[in-house]
Chains A and B, each alone.
Chain A
Amino acid sequence: MGLALISVALLIGLGALGTAIGFALLGGKLLDGTARQPEMAPMLQGKMFLIAGLLDAVPMIGVGIAMYILFVVAPGLS
């Protein structure tokens, strides 16, 4: 049963790690782009939120499955 808990931790942890790095890079590039062309800021920000939404999928699917494992597959753990 303990393995399920480890799998939940890995699922959420690694997903969060990857997304954090991804969002940091995304934010950095947004600031670079805005610094280079301030008048493009609104459009760039719009695109950034769109990609942020897409990026969000990966850890969120991981978290969704992790919650499923935690509460449905091995309810005894929580």
Chain B
Amino acid sequence: MAAEGGTQTSSDYILHHLANLTYGKLPAGYVRDGQALSTDTWTFAHTAQEASDMGFMAIHVDSMMWSIGLAIVLGILFLIAAKKVTPGVPKGFVGFIEMVVEFIDNTVKDTFPYRSKFVAPLALTIFTWVFMMNAMDLVPVDWLPMLAAKLSGDPHLYFKVVPTTDPNITLGMAFTVFFLMIFFTIKNKGFMGFVKELTLHPFHHPLMIPFNFVLEAISWIAKPISLGLRLFGNLYAGEMIFILIAIMYGAGWALGLFAGVLQWGWAVFHILVIALQAFVFMVLTLVYMSMAHEVDEQH
């Protein structure tokens, strides 16, 4: 993936480490490694340039694999815990899972005062899944890709390990929450209720409808975007600093040792950031859900 031959400059290293493993369609006649492609070929992009040329019809295989994989691992973990749960005092693993569920349950009860069978499981899923995806950031940048490259024998195989550093994943989750907000608003307040909320909200006067609508539309659009970009920004910056530290390992003994200390320090701080961002994502989802379920003020 990186420029072949010659010593790798640090910017090559950074650019190389920012490229997702993309699988997409290269149009016929696309010049690749010197020769043009005869037909539309679905293939893994070799360089970041090819990945961007694939345009819309391309999937970040690494983000998808890691996120779905972690979701399956979590599902299995919770399934095992659910099977082993006993009315008595929980031990070890089941105790830990119960602690997590209780923590989430208390937060949901504080933030979401309405009855809903869907919101608490949603909060649990979001918190644990986002936390697990973020926790992948603690694994040093090069370990897993190098391991995979050795196993698969293809020295150029590289993939980004942390799914949440891919804006598609975080914005995807944020916009799912956005559509859930719309769905629950319509379910609880009826379509007219939704329209009223958009047009009559701050100033309850028909003349002010355009002004209200602009105000409400902006605040509705800002929610998913800020929700998604917050998680993305934190993790992307965190991983960027890990990459910068990783460059220092290649620069001789003294700097390597210093980089080790830096990496340890930043990883410890990053544990707080990981948990905090997962918690904030969950709490904001709960706040948005409780806004959608709020029906008590009459218009």
- Please list the residues of chain A having a beta carbon within 8 angstroms of any beta carbon in chain B: 49-50, 52-54, 56-57, 60-65, 67, 71-72, 75, 78
Contact = CB atoms under 8 A, between A and B. Distances in A.
Contacts of B236: 63-64, 67
B276 A53 contact: yes
**Interface residues of B toward A: which range?**
20 to 34
Contact of A56 (B10, B14, B15, B234): B234
Contact of A67 (B11, B226, B240, B276): B240
30 contacts: A49-B279, A50-B283, A52-B276, A53-B277, A53-B280, A56-B234, A56-B277, A56-B280, A57-B226, A57-B229, A57-B230, A57-B233, A60-B230, A60-B237, A61-B226, A61-B229, A61-B230, A61-B233, A63-B233, A64-B232, A64-B236, A65-B233, A67-B236, A67-B237, A67-B240, A71-B18, A72-B18, A75-B15, A78-B10, A78-B11
A49 B234 CA distance: 15
Contacts of B234: 56-57, 60
Contacts of B18: 71-72
Contacts of B229: 57, 61, 64
Contacts of B11: 71, 75, 78
**Which A-B residue pairs are the 5 nearest by beta carbons?**
A60-B233, A64-B233, A53-B280, A57-B230, A78-B11
- Tell me whether chain B's interface is mostly helix, strand or loop, or mixed: helix
Given A67-B237, A75-B11, A56 B283 contact: no
B233 A71 contact: no
Given A50-B279, A53-B280, 18 more contacts: A49-B279, A50-B283, A53-B276, A54-B230, A56-B230, A56-B276, A56-B280, A57-B226, A57-B229, A57-B233, A60-B230, A61-B226, A61-B233, A63-B236, A64-B229, A67-B236, A71-B15, A75-B15
B58 to A, nearest CB: 16
Nearest to A60: B233
Interface string B6-45: 0000110011001000000000000000000000000000
Contacts of A64: 229, 232-233, 236-237
A67 B280 CA distance: 23
Contacts of A52: 276
